[in-house]
Amino acid sequence: MNDKLPWTSMGDASHGGLTVSTPVLRLLGAVAFTCGIVGAILTFRGSLLAAFFCFTLFGGSGAALLLMSGRITADDTGIVVTRLLSRGRAEWVDVTGVEYGGGNLVFRLAPRKRVVLPGPEFWSGVDKAPLVKLIDAKLAERGVQMKATLRAILQAGDRL
Statement: residue 8 has pLDDT above 70: no
pTM equals 0.80
Same domain, 99 and 40: no
Question: What is the DSSP annotation of 68-102?
Answer: H-EEEEE-SSEEEEEESS-EEEEEGGG--EEEEET
Same domain, 45 and 83: no
- The pLDDT value given to residue 9: 42
Q: In this predicted model, which residue has the larger pLDDT, 152 or 23? A: 23
Q: What's the total number of domains in the chain?
A: 2
Based on the domain organization, do 123 and 86 belong to the same domain?
A: yes
Whether 14 is in a domain gets the answer no
Residues 27 and 99 in one domain: no
- Note down the domain range covering 96: 73-154
Whether residue 113 lies inside any domain: the answer is: yes
Q: Is residue 4 very low, low, confident or very high in pLDDT (cuts 50, 70, 90)?
A: very low
Q: What CATH number should be reported for the domain holding residue 146?
A: 3.30.720
